[in-house]
Amino acid sequence: MTPELFTRRSMLRRTAALGGACAGYGLINRMMPSLASASSEIHPLAPRSPHFPAKAKRVIMFFLTGGFSHIDSFDPKPALRRREGEDRRRGKKIMGSPWEEQPYGSNGTMMTDLFPNLARMADEYCLIRSMHGDHNDHFEATLHMHTGSNGSAMPSMGSWISYGLGSENPNLPSHIVFARNKPYAGAQVWDSNFLPAYHQGMRIIPGGNPIPNLRPVEGTLPDVREMELDLLNDLNRRHLLQRDGDGDLGARMLSFDTAANLQELAPQIFDLGDESDRTLAEYGLERGDRRSFAWQTLVARRMLESGVRFVELIDTGASRNWDAHGNIRSHANLAKEIDQPIAAFLRDMEQRGLLEDTLVIFTTEFGRTADGGNNGRDHHSRSFSSWLAGAGVKKGLVYGATDEIGMEIIENPVHVHDFHATILHLLGLDHERLTYHHGGRDFRLTDVHGRVVDEILT
């Protein structure tokens, strides 16, 4: 057999016929010396220095898929009740909110009781009431919030942050997404697209099997598994050198290492046995539950503690969605499942001293209209609410304002591109310098737009 014919495919085919992993591994070592060991190389997810000193080291993003109503939560409008039943457009009538508003926090910020626990924490985050985007379609607006793209597939924000900063723990993925069901636009919202594939988000599916195929095959001895991985690694390295640094293959090679590490580390992170009864009660979590949003939130905290750079929780369940054309009151049960866990997460992170360098994002793809049909509200991208908390963000600030029915921004608009630029800035990344050359041009998360909203920063 000549060296030119000694390919990865032929070697795997021949090894399969050797009758045992140990014998096969010994033969491979005699025929093909190992290439450079992984320990002598720079890990592709090794921590990278930011452009300037950062306030935040890690990010968690809570995304309410479907578009929650800003005027029924963080931007209440008493005028809606006064104008209840008024025809506004094509037979659509203005509708007051089912939830009562009252002042919260030291500044008396008006909010409804839809999210009572989060409302009581008004002093802990910066509320942006003047968010706006470019799309009224779920698919496009969800992509826009996650990728900055006007509808076409592009790298996700989590992937850009992973690309810019690497990971604090190379034994775990740098970008993790909890999603029981796929949101609008599916896996594109955590895809790395043209960025190196190891920046792609790894999906966690809440339930009994959060990472499929995580456990080793029953009966596999650790020593044999280690030899199998070493064999596969050597073959892949030879294959990679013959193909001028194939990025997809490099990412797959890294995925094998990460998978091996996950077999050891992930069960420890998912196992909440060392969490106190008090902590579980704070999150509203029953011991043994592995599906609820409360479980996802607490596991996300453990992942951030373990060095994962970017974690996203997409609020999807068996049939849950914040789209409320038919009945805005459907928000009540949805809010009940996430309100307590997110509020508990903020308190927990602060008590652990982690909130000071963790950025917390709470957002959606767009808001809802003041009018609608069948007791529901329609899509509205021209104004909605989001909030930021943690590292480098002013506490208790309300930024921006909408008109008396919440339809138009009247003060300090914040576009999705501005939102992204500000998030990157808090991580020490200049949104104009964080670029990747692809297809003959430089791309970035904010395209050719965006400004850092300095007014909300400490």
Hey, where are the domains in the chain?
34-210+290-456
* pLDDT value of position 226: 66
Q: Are 45 and 261 in contact (CB under 8 A)?
A: no
> Which residues have a Cβ under 8 Å from the Cβ of 250 and sit 6 or more positions away?
44, 196, 197, 198, 240
HEC letters along 175-198? EEEECCCCCCCHHHHHCCCCCCHH
By C-alpha distance, which of 192, 255, 166 is closest to 436? 192
- Sign of the torsion angle spanned by Cα atoms 157, 161, 164, 169: negative
Q: Are strands 125-132 and 436-438 parallel, antiparallel or unpaired?
A: unpaired
How far is 384 from 456, CA to CA, in rounded Å? Answer: 17
One digit per residue, the tens of pLDDT, for the chain of length 458 reads 333 343 444 444 444 433 333 333 333 333 333 333 333 457 888 899 999 999 999 999 999 999 999 999 999 999 999 999 999 887 799 999 999 999 999 999 999 999 999 999 999 999 999 999 999 999 999 999 999 997 788 999 999 999 999 999 988 899 999 999 999 999 999 999 999 988 999 999 998 888 776 666 566 666 666 676 667 667 767 766 766 655 566 666 666 566 566 667 788 899 999 999 999 999 999 999 999 999 999 999 999 999 999 999 999 855 578 999 989 999 999 999 999 999 999 999 999 999 999 999 999 999 999 999 889 999 999 999 999 999 999 999 999 999 999 999 999 999 999 999 999 999 999 999 999 999 999 999 999 999 999 999 99
Listed in order, strand segments (DSSP E) in 90-241 are 92-94, 101-104, 109-112, 125-132, 175-178, 202-204
* pLDDT value of position 260: 62
By C-alpha distance, which of 24, 88, 32, 63 is closest to 334? 63
Superfamily of domain 34-210+290-456: Alkaline Phosphatase, subunit A (3.40.720.10)
The DSSP call for residue 132 is E
How far is 271 from 266, CA to CA, in rounded Å? Answer: 8
Q: Are 304 and 358 in contact (CB under 8 A)?
A: yes
How far is 213 from 366, CA to CA, in rounded Å? Answer: 36
Predicted model pTM:
0.85
